[in-house]
Amino acid sequence: MCSYQAAALIPHSSLPLGLGLLLLLARPDETERALFSEVLSNCDVVECILASFGANAPKAGRVSRLWLEAAQRVLARCRVVELEASTGGYWRTGDDDGLDASDAPERHGLQVNSNAGYVVATPTGLLLSDCNNGRILVLDPTGQPTRAIEGLCYPNDITCGFDSIYVLVNRGFDDVMRRISLSGEDRQLPSSPSGVGTLAVVGESLFVGVVETENVSIVLEYEAATASFVREFCRAPARRILKLVGLGETLLMLEKTMDENDKEAHVSTYSLATAPALWGRCVVPDHTFTIAAQNDRLFAGTARLPHERGALHVMLLDGTPLQRLEVHAAGGARDLCVAHGKLYCICEVDTSEEDLYFPELDSIYPELEEEDGVPEITQFGDEMHALCVYRFAGAQQHF
């Protein structure tokens, strides 16, 4: 950069006339030093620079006291959510504990099976699929059940729109879509592809993630109001689509490679306004199982591992880290949903922490010490709660 270019970057009104002449007449290297000194000692500029580091800003705070103070201000803005409540427990239909399938769920509070975990917002509350109990729970905004839609065959991922519930149910070895009303009555579904893994209503469209072959996943688009097929939206070679989330006129896709040894996951952002164009892709923490989004923020939930709690990660859409919180429930995050001014985290629950794991884990985590073929599990406590509710802290826009 020459002296004239350097001087041009500094507002003339902010420089005394003599200093401005000196910069113009100085050698290029001295001009650059003066420019850098001016920029790097400006509080607003430094804070803007460190904002790009997010939660990692304190690592640059060693430069000077000014930088440390700016890093602390940035870190304070990274506090996006805080735990408000942790509630709910484990219950399986047929357990000899005084409850049976005919009991009204609102009389006992939130009670779910360990395989529960997919949640979607409604205008008045939430819908939660309780897989092994064969039902969908209707929750109020506080997370308490008001009624249940019974008689479903292992309901998994769930979405809602146009007065209909779309839910994945298990038929044999495959998951297919089922369309029902909010009261539980069946509605005609023109067709349902096999191999469905996840779905989401975004705007006027229903997006469905399908494993087409062993090495290819695809996203299909349907008209949400009629459930009629529109088009193949996009393809994801060698990747498994774990979650679909809408954000304005974009579709976020949580993807993971089909290589079981590769734990890395990333989120791809596709435009809905025009042709399905890939806008960007960011890496999320290993073992991310689910995502949610609001404004410029991305929320990622990681699974409970044998020696590590599940966590809630908050970041910007480009992957800049903002905040990390251990999920209060020992089972770890299962699904996330932003609704009614809160962030809801559905968690894995069971009668004990060991019951969350199976002997098959020793092939996934061969580095663990084993006894009788079962990995050793670190005990984190008795917080086997089914739902964590987080309130938003600070400004809506943090950066």
| 176 has a pLDDT exceeding 70 | yes
**Please, are residues 247 and 293 in contact by the beta-carbon 8 Å criterion?**
yes
Return the H-helix or E-strand segment holding 292. strand 288-294
State the burial class of residue 355 (Cβ atoms within 10 Å of its Cβ: 0-12, 13-18, 19+).
middle
Q: Does residue 215 sit within a domain?
A: yes
Asked if 276 and 317 sit in the same domain, the reply is yes
**Position with higher pLDDT, 304 vs 394:** 304
Residue 177 inside a domain? The answer is no
Look at residue 27 and tell me if it is in a domain.
Answer: yes
Least confident of 11-25, 59-73, 169-183: 11-25
Yes or no: say if 293 and 299 are a contact pair by the CB < 8 Å rule.
yes
pLDDT of 164 above 60: yes
CATH assignment of the domain containing 98: 2.40.128.630
**What pLDDT band is residue 388 in, cutting at 50, 70 and 90?**
very high
Distance CA(332)–CA(326), nearest Å, equals 8
Q: In this structure, what are the phi and psi dihedrals at residue 261, rounded to the nearest 5 degrees? A: -80, -10
Is the CB of residue 88 less than 8 Å from the CB of residue 143?
yes
| CA contacts within 13 A on the Cβ side of 303 | 11
Query: Are the C-beta atoms of residues 298 and 398 closer than 8 Å to each other?
Result: no
Q: Please report the pLDDT score of residue 252 as a whole number.
A: 96
pLDDT band at 158 (very low <50, low <70, confident <90, very high): very high
User: pLDDT tens digits for 360-375?
Assistant: 444 445 555 555 555 6
Kindly state whether residues 250 and 215 are assigned to the same domain: yes
pLDDT band at 282 (very low <50, low <70, confident <90, very high): very high
- 71's CB contacts (< 8 A; 6+ apart) are 50, 57, 58, 60, 61
Same domain, 66 and 200: no
From 34, 58, 77, the end of a domain falls on: 77
Q: Does residue 397 sit within a domain?
A: no
Could you tell me whether strands 158-161 and 111-112 are parallel, antiparallel, or unpaired per DSSP bridges? Answer: unpaired
Instruction: Name the strand (E) or helix (H) holding 20.
Output: helix 17-25
Where does residue 261 rank: exposed (0-12), middle (13-18), buried (19+ CB within 10 A)? Answer: exposed
Asked if 203 and 59 sit in the same domain, the reply is no
Shared domain for 101 and 50, answered yes or no, is no
Q: Which of 195-199, 210-214, 345-349 is predicted with the least confidence, judged by mean pLDDT? A: 210-214
The residue whose two tokens read 């440390």 is 68
Q: Are residues 234 and 249 in the same domain?
A: yes
Same domain for 62 and 95: no
* Among 25, 22, 20, CA closest to 8: 20
**CA angle 202-206-207, nearest 5°?**
90
Pair (289, 335) in one structural domain: yes
Containing structural domain, residue 61: 3-77
The total of structural domains in the chain comes to 2
Q: Which of 32, 57, 77 is the last residue of a domain?
A: 77
The rounded distance, in Å, linking the Cα atoms of 234 and 221 is 9
Q: Which residue has the higher pLDDT, 52 or 223?
A: 223
Decide if 51 contacts 57 (C-beta within 8 A).
yes
Beta strands in 91-184 (DSSP E): 111-112, 118-122, 125-130, 135-139, 145-149, 158-161, 164-171, 174-181
- Asked if residue 19 belongs to a domain, the reply is yes
Give φ, ψ of 293 to 5 degrees: -150, 150
The alpha carbon dihedral of 314, 265, 235, 277 has a sign of: positive
Q: Please report, rounded to a whole number, the percentage of residues in the chain having pLDDT higher than 70.
A: 80
Structure tokens at 67: 């930088």
- Domain membership of residue 152 (yes or no) is no
Residue-averaged pLDDT of the chain: 81
Please tell me whether residue 264 adopts helix, strand or coil conformation: coil
Both 32 and 97 in one domain: the answer is no
Query: Which of 324, 389, 335 lies closest to 79, judged by CA?
Result: 324
If one compares 13 and 228, the residue with the highest pLDDT of the two is: 228
Q: What is the pLDDT of residue 301?
A: 95
3 state SS of 297: strand
pLDDT at 373: 54
Structure-token pair, residue 204: 């006027």
pLDDT tens-digit readout, 98-141? 555 556 777 778 989 877 679 999 999 999 999 888 999 999 99
Q: In what side-by-side order are the strands of the sheet with 265-271?
A: 239-247, 250-257, 265-271, 278-284
Same domain for 100 and 34, yes or no, is: no
Specify if 91 maps to a domain.
yes
On whether residue 186 sits in a domain, the answer given is: no
276 in the same domain as 241? yes
- The predicted pLDDT at position 170 comes to 81
- Average pLDDT score over residue span 38-45: 76
The closest of 208, 210, 212 to 221, measured between CA atoms, is 208
| Mean pLDDT along residues 269-294 | 88
**Model pTM?**
0.83
224-281 per-position pLDDT tens digit:
998 899 999 999 888 999 999 999 999 999 999 887 777 789 999 999 887 677 888 9
pLDDT of 7: 37
And the tokens for 190? Answer: 């023109």
Q: Any idea which of 5-14, 82-91, 174-183 has the lowest mean pLDDT?
A: 5-14
| Residues 281 and 365 both lie in one domain | yes
User: Would you state the pLDDT for residue 6?
Assistant: 38
For residue 27, name the pLDDT band (cuts at 50, 70, 90): low
Report the alpha-carbon distance of residue 317 to residue 319 in Å, rounded. 5
Q: Does position 82 have pLDDT exceeding 60, yes or no? A: yes
Higher pLDDT, 278 or 11: 278
